[in-house]
Amino acid sequence: VVITSPDNARLKLVRKLHERRWREKLGLFVCEGEDLVAAARAEPVELLVAGENVDAALLAAVSSAAHPPRVIGVYRRQDLPPPEPRAACLALWQVVDPGNVGTLIRTADAFGAAVALSRGCADPTAPKALRASAGSIWRVPLTVFEALEPAGTGVARIGLVPSGGVPLGELELRGEVVFCLGAERGGLPDEVERRRDASIPIRGAESLNVAAAAAIALYEWSRQNLR
């Protein structure tokens, strides 16, 4: 059957899932577009395909994308990779922009790192975050910042700060490391404990975008850990 009414329950579900509270309540999220659906590593709960099981204009109307997608899949949050230790972790403190959270997940994936999210971070399953993660959401283990091992135990926890830290290249980053990254506006408050702070030397701007800083930090970490 082809869906031809905007009041259809399956379309209503997709519309609801644009809101974080519904995603959290139902434990579901939406992947828009063929690339994101192809990257999924789980079976969708719903799969709507324009011209096949839903009218193309109706599918476009429930999409959040600039270009109407041909497919929209609904997936279970619990099907995302479970928390799993990785040698490097990006610990995000109140990073509120979903585009940044998605780019950080993609960056972590590129270097085999995990991502920890604090309370107040953007939802990694928000449509904008998923687009920015470009499928990496299915490969990166996500954990809760507040559940990480406390600073001062085994793993080196490095705060990344725009200025005032040790120049990143001078730090020895052998072995396991957690990089703490701060909010777009407020940065990293003192209450976030870490062993020491590092800065990427820059000139000409006050700071880097948080995902740009993470990419440089992970590059330096991987460079030092290559043999």
Ligand X SMILES: C[S@@+](CC[C@H](N)C(=O)[O-])C[C@H]1O[C@@H](n2cnc3c(N)ncnc32)[C@H](O)[C@@H]1O
The site for ligand X (CB under 6 A) is made up of: 160-162, 181-182, 184, 187-188, 199-200, 202, 207-208, 210, 213
Q: Let me know: does 137 contact 124? Beta carbons within 8 Å.
A: yes
Of the two residues 177 and 181, which places its CB atom closer to ligand X in the complex? 181
Do β-strands 46-49 and 71-76 pair in parallel, antiparallel, or remain unpaired?
A: antiparallel
Cβ of residue 214: shortest distance to ligand X, in angstroms? 8
Length of the chain measured in residues: 227
Give the CA distances from residue 61 to residues 50, 98, 179, 218, in Å, rounded to whole numbers and listed in that order: 11, 22, 40, 39
Q: Tell me the residue number closest to ligand X, measured at CB.
A: 187
Cβ of residue 221: shortest distance to ligand X, in angstroms? 13
Angstrom distance (rounded) from CA 204 to CA 171: 23
Of the two residues 63 and 100, which places its CB atom closer to ligand X in the complex? 100
Task: Give the list of residues 6+ apart from residue 222 with CB closer than 8 angstroms, or none.
Answer: 88, 111
Give me 195's structure tokens. Answer: 């062993």
DSSP letter string over 50-77? BTTTB-HHHHHHT--SSS--SEEEEEEG
Cβ of residue 198: shortest distance to ligand X, in angstroms? 6
Of the two residues 81 and 201, which places its CB atom closer to ligand X in the complex? 201
Phi and psi, residue 164, nearest 5°: 95, -10
Of the two residues 30 and 158, which places its CB atom closer to ligand X in the complex? 158
Of the two residues 13 and 192, which places its CB atom closer to ligand X in the complex? 192
Cβ of residue 165: shortest distance to ligand X, in angstroms? 7
Cβ of residue 14: shortest distance to ligand X, in angstroms? 33
Q: Let me know: does 77 contact 114? Beta carbons within 8 Å.
A: no
